[in-house]
């Protein structure tokens, strides 16, 4: 904020008058300072109106000229010389040197206290500041309205228009610029942001050079919505413009974070709906409509049940990938086990590629089911999870490719087959040990070959008639009929379970 010298002279109550010639381009006053020091320059920063009665100044022309040179050297805007105390008039040598260097000199009458001049100037500056604040509030309202109707592009345009500056927004995937002709500034901002990322410096960037200033502020609260808003202007960026830039940064952040907040709320709703589908108290309820979008175009879904040491982190990882694919998250977490609904046409290879590289992760994937059969899909996925292994290639098991293995891993099923083994497999094994024959291996190969004599015999390296004799002996020892397909199936499964004891 500044006060023009012409305005100061127009204040009749101060009775100020100009001494010497009027300068072509008088510098505005930014502050008023009263001092009787003959060299106040170490404590001045430029733009001041210096008030003095000349108590420390004699009438020596060289001393007066040196005094003016010192004030001019630090950028003083104007000298107010009070007469009637130590000097009856403003010394001519002082006025002459001031004219030579272009420093305005005002004569202050004896009856005018310096405090009145200070108060007048500072009140004027305060009024200007207040007007700027009011104007900034109006601009903030316009920027807010722009955000409501046009998003980031409208915010950038309104801020640039209202501040008469160039504004750029640089995001991870999008950008905005106004005026649009300043493409070089957009490129410059990208370079500044990239350099900051490499050096690890603060989020705020400021660049000042003769006749130009640039400031860059970071926006966004999450990696997915991170970006930067930048302002450039001729000369220093004013405090009000910085306030408006900060307001715009807040609005852009809200605009960018809105999808993320909405996604969190939708994911929470999906989780509640999915939990209700697993709750047996609501067996008769229809499928909540919020789960409809979980299905593929064929209306089918697959259940992915996973467990890891950091299940919540795994869900957040999947959420980020699904978000980038434009898909919602449908997940229910119960302790260290999570159930995630995927589309029915999601291939197991695609699902495996989405899982994080976690050595503790195990997962099971169901077959495709209709939405009302979500519980059945989850059961299949949990059964597949039960046989997932520690190797990278074994961490995801698809129920459709491992149904027999899933059944055999079931505790009640294993117990039944192991009981049956005591009267079948164990009998044959004992007979083989006592007689030095291979009835159990012969039966295993015969059953695995689906009763085809030639194939089984070739695998054993014996003649088919030899194999026929062994199988006949098996039937005698076990008192079974191997022409019955159900008997053959039971014996094969019993052998498989026994092999895993």
pLDDT tens by residue, 399-427: 876 555 555 566 677 788 888 888 898 99
- pLDDT of res. 201: 46
The arithmetic mean of pLDDT across residues 441-464, rounded, is 87
Residue 224 pLDDT > 60, yes or no? no
Please state which of the four CATH numbers 1.10.3720.10, 3.20.20.80, 3.30.70.270, 3.20.20.330 is assigned to the domain occupying 289-406: 3.30.70.270
Distance, in Å, from the CA atom of 393 to the CA atom of 414, rounded to the nearest integer, reads 25
Confidence class of residue 200 from pLDDT cuts 50, 70 and 90?
very low
> What are 143-192's pLDDT values in tens digits?
888 887 788 889 999 999 999 999 999 987 778 999 999 999 999 999 98
Burial of 99 (0-12, 13-18, 19+ CB in 10 A): middle
Please indicate whether residue 370 or residue 500 has the higher confidence score (pLDDT). Answer: 370
**What distances in angstroms separate CA 357 from CA 141, 314, 352, one per listed residue?**
48, 10, 10
> What are 25-80's pLDDT values in tens digits?
888 999 999 999 999 999 999 999 999 999 999 999 999 999 999 999 999 999 99
Contact 462, 453 (CB under 8 A): no
> What are 301-311's pLDDT values in tens digits?
999 999 999 99
> What are 230-244's pLDDT values in tens digits?
999 988 888 888 889
> What are 312-348's pLDDT values in tens digits?
999 999 988 888 777 889 999 999 999 999 999 999 9
Please indicate whether residue 106 or residue 21 has the higher confidence score (pLDDT). Answer: 106
- pLDDT of res. 128: 87
273-312 burial, b at 16+ Cβ within 10 Å, e below that, comes to bbeebeeeeeeeeebbeebeebbeeeebbbbbbbbbeebe
pTM score, whole prediction? 0.46
The domain covering 140-256 belongs, at the CATH homologous superfamily level, to GAF domain (3.30.450.40)
Q: What are the two backbone dihedrals, phi and then psi, of residue 161, each rounded to the nearest 5 degrees? A: -65, -45
Distance, in Å, from the CA atom of 268 to the CA atom of 399, rounded to the nearest integer, reads 28
Residue 81 pLDDT > 90, yes or no? yes
**What distances in angstroms separate CA 365 from CA 279, 337, 474, one per listed residue?**
21, 13, 40
Length of the chain: 501
Contacts of 220 (CB under 8 A, 6+ apart): 171, 226, 227, 253, 256, 257
**What distances in angstroms separate CA 234 from CA 44, 204, 209, 253, one per listed residue?**
25, 19, 10, 27
- Find the helix or strand (DSSP H, E) in which 214 lies: strand 212-219
Please state which of the four CATH numbers 3.40.1390.20, 3.30.428.10, 3.40.1010.10, 3.30.560.10 is assigned to the domain occupying 5-112: 3.40.1390.20
């Amino acid at each position: 904020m500044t006060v023009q010298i012409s305005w100061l002279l127009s204040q009749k109550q101060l009775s100020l008058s100009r001494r010497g010639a009027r300068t072509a381009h008088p510098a505005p006053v930014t502050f008023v300072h009263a001092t009787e020091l003959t060299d106040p320059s170490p404590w001045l920063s430029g733009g001041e109106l210096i008030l003095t009665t000349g108590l420390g100044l004699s009438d020596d022309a060289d001393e007066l000229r040196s005094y003016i040179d010192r004030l001019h050297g630090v950028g003083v805007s104007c000298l107010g010389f009070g007469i009637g105390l130590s000097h009856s008039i403003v010394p001519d040598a002082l006025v002459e040197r001031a004219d030579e260097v272009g420093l305005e000199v005002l004569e202050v009458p004896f009856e005018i206290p310096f405090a009145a001049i200070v108060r007048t100037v500072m009140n004027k500056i305060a009024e200007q500041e207040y007007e700027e604040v009011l104007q900034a509030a109006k601009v903030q309202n316009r920027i807010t309205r722009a955000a409501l109707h046009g998003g980031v592009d409208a915010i950038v345009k309104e801020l640039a228009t209202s501040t008469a500056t160039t504004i750029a927004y640089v995001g991870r995937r999008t950008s905005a610029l106004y005026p649009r002709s300043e493409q070089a500034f957009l490129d410059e901002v990208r370079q500044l942001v990239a350099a900051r990322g490499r050096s690890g410096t603060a989020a705020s960037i400021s660049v000042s050079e003769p006749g130009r200033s640039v400031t860059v502020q970071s926006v966004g609260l999450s990696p997915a919505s991170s970006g930067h808003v930048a302002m450039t202007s001729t000369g220093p960026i004013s405090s009000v413009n910085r306030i408006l830039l900060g307001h715009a940064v807040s609005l852009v952040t809200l605009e960018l974070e809105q999808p993320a907040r909405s996604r969190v709320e939708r994911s929470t709703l999906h989780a509640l709906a999915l939990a209700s589908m697993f709750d047996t108290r609501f067996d008769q309820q229809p499928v909540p409509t919020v789960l409809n979008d979980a299905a593929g175009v064929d209306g089918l879904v697959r259940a992915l049940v996973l467990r890891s040491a950091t299940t919540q982190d795994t869900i957040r990882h999947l959420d980020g990938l699904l978000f980038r694919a434009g898909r919602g998250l449908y997940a229910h977490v119960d302790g260290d086990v999570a159930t995630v609904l995927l589309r029915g046409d999601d291939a197991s290879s695609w699902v495996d590629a989405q899982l994080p590289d976690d050595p503790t992760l195990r997962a099971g994937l169901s077959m495709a089911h209709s939405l009302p059969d979500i519980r059945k899909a989850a059961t299949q996925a949990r059964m597949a999870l039960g046989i997932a292994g520690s190797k990278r290639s074994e961490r995801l098991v698809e129920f459709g490719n491992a149904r027999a293995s899933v059944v055999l891993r079931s505790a009640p099923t294993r117990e039944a087959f192991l009981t049956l083994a005591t009267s079948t497999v164990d009998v044959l094994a004992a007979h083989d040990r006592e007689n030095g024959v291979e009835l159990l291996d012969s039966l295993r190969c015969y059953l695995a070959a689906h009763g085809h004599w030639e194939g089984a015999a070739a695998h054993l390296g014996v003649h088919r008639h030899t194999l026929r004799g062994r199988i006949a002996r098996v039937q005698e020892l076990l008192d079974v009929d191997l022409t019955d397909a159900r008997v053959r199936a039971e014996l094969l499964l019993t052998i498989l379970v026994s092999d895993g004891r």
